[in-house]
Amino acid sequence: MADEKKMTLDKFEEAYEDVKRVTLETKLIYSDYWSNCTGNKVYLKPENLQRTGAYKVRGAYYKITTLSDEERKKGLITASAGNHAQGVAYAAKCYGVKATIVMPTSTPLIKVNRTKALGAEVVLHGNVYDEAYEKALELSQEYGYTMVHPFDDLDVATGQGTIAMEIIKELPTVDYILVPIGGGGLATGVSTLAKLLNPKIKVIGVEPAGANCMQESIKAGHVVALPSVNTIADGTAVKKPGEKIFPYLSENIDDIITVPDEDLVVSFLDMVENHKMVVENSGLLSVAALKQLDCKDKKIACVLSGGNMDIITMSSVVQQGLIMRDRIFTVSVLLPDKPGELSRVAGVIAGVNGNVIKLEHNQFVSINRNAAVELRITLEAFGSEHKEQIIEALNTEGYKPRIVRTNI
């Protein structure tokens, strides 16, 4: 294994002390909701509550502490989808040095603005992280900046691994730690330190199904690049994992689970409703993977890696989550175009406690308006069972409701 002296217990302990200067204490939160859903004792590690909204400040700050004064004075550069950007910007500000951040053009506005607010220069380039990274390398060579890689750096990974130190100190009997994977720095640090402290702890990496570069690399036995990525989890939309960290992660990770975007959507809704916390899609990978774990009565810590999510994305995810949970749905019914029919349909829905959100009345669905006018009704329900009760009530009254795609 390359650089074997790098990721040692001494280095992790050093990093643990260093990052305390810039991190908030993120105590574990016991989740009644996910514990009841899974039959395990589930704890949340809320790194979304860090000053920069994500765990990334740990690795960025520790990396900068290991640099020489000369390396820092050259100025720092990195590429990031947002969270590492803020981590580097914040750490650079602490040291009073310049930071340049290259971010994909698709990066949520909140991450761009917060990075700028921390004093960094932001360059928008490319559609995904990998394209932004190529630009960062180009600028690094052109201006002599010192690169602070977001994940493929053993010092950065060591800083991220301090999360495992905190989890184990607070919950020494933890059985599983679930951790999101993008490029792999967080999972490398957490899994390596966890195995050093207690080899019995199982560390499970979680990737978006549409960006599973680490899973494919583990299968191949070497780092491979995906031809493309497609996921709403922008913070983990990485085509190729880190080369330097790969030997550590492949040795220490116990398994990798992939999660479809649909599961992230409903997990966001569950997190907001049950814990009143905003966690970005990438940060939700760990809780979204819980239903795929085949275990009971275990103590599980889920790392919520970040919470930097713009309002527009948040609104869209909430709406889609409500639709996927059958909390909002749309039916189409045909009825004669005559007075009183709309009132009659509304009465049927009210009789089973359905709540009408929107009505669309289309008189031109048929040439014979007396025979058929289409009414599309968007409704709020308590869930799938209640939705079926509403549909059954409409069927009983002869309306023959048809489920159609909901557009809010």
| CATH code assigned at 233 | 3.40.50.1100
pLDDT tens, residue by residue, 65-110: 999 999 999 999 999 877 899 999 999 999 999 999 999 998 878 7
Within-domain flag for 4: no
Instruction: Work out how many domains the chain is built from and give that number.
Output: 3
Per-residue H/E/C for the chain: CCCCCCCCHHHHHHHHHHHCCCCCCCCCEEEHHHHHHHCCEEEEEEHHHCCCCECCHHHHHHHHHHCCHHHHHCCEEEECCCHHHHHHHHHHHHHCCCEEEEECCCCCHHHHHHHHHCCCEEEECCCCHHHHHHHHHHHHHHHCCEECCCCCCHHHHHHHCHHHHHHHHHCCCCCEEEEECCCCHHHHHHHHHHHHHCCCCEEEEEEEHHHCHHHHHHHHCCCCCCCCCCCCCHHHCCCCCCCCCHHHHHHHCCEEEEECHHHHHHHHHHHHHHHCCCCCCHHHHHHHCHHHCCCCCCEEEEEECECCCCHHHHHHHHHHHHHHCCCEEEEEEEECCCCCHHHHHHHHHHHCCCEEEEEEEECCCCCCCCCCEEEEEEEECCCHHHHHHHHHHHHHCCCCCEEECCCC
In this prediction, residue 53 carries a pLDDT of 92
Other CB atoms within a 10 A radius of the CB of residue 42 amount to: 27
In this prediction, residue 366 carries a pLDDT of 62
Within-domain flag for 117: yes
Q: Which of 195, 239, 305, 387 is catalytic?
A: 305
Q: Are residues 69 and 215 in the same domain?
A: no
Within-domain flag for 3: no
Instruction: Write down the mean pLDDT value for the chain.
Output: 93
- Alpha-carbon span 124 to 129, nearest angstrom: 11
Q: Are residues 297 and 195 in the same domain?
A: yes
In this prediction, residue 255 carries a pLDDT of 97
Q: Are residues 43 and 158 in the same domain?
A: yes
What is the average pLDDT across 210-230? 95
305 catalytic? Reply is yes
Q: Which of 56, 63, 202, 240 is catalytic?
A: 56
In this prediction, residue 108 carries a pLDDT of 76
Identify the domain containing residue 396 by its residue range.
326-404
Are the C-beta atoms of residues 260 and 288 closer than 8 Å to each other? no
Q: Which of 80-84, 141-145, 266-270, 388-392 has the lowest mean pLDDT?
A: 80-84
Of 125, 73, 66, 124, residue with least CA distance to 99: 73
What is the average pLDDT across 5-30? 94
Q: Are residues 161 and 296 in the same domain?
A: yes
Q: Are residues 315 and 236 in the same domain?
A: yes
Q: Does residue 2 surpass a pLDDT of 60?
A: no
Please provide residue 354's backbone torsions phi and psi, each rounded to the nearest 5 degrees: -80, 150
Q: Does residue 378 surpass a pLDDT of 60?
A: yes
In this prediction, residue 311 carries a pLDDT of 87
Q: Does residue 364 surpass a pLDDT of 80?
A: no
Q: Percent of the chain scored above 90 by pLDDT?
A: 82
What is the average pLDDT across 382-396? 95
56 catalytic? Reply is yes
Within-domain flag for 170: yes
The pTM assigned to this predicted structure is 0.89
Q: Are residues 13 and 64 in the same domain?
A: no
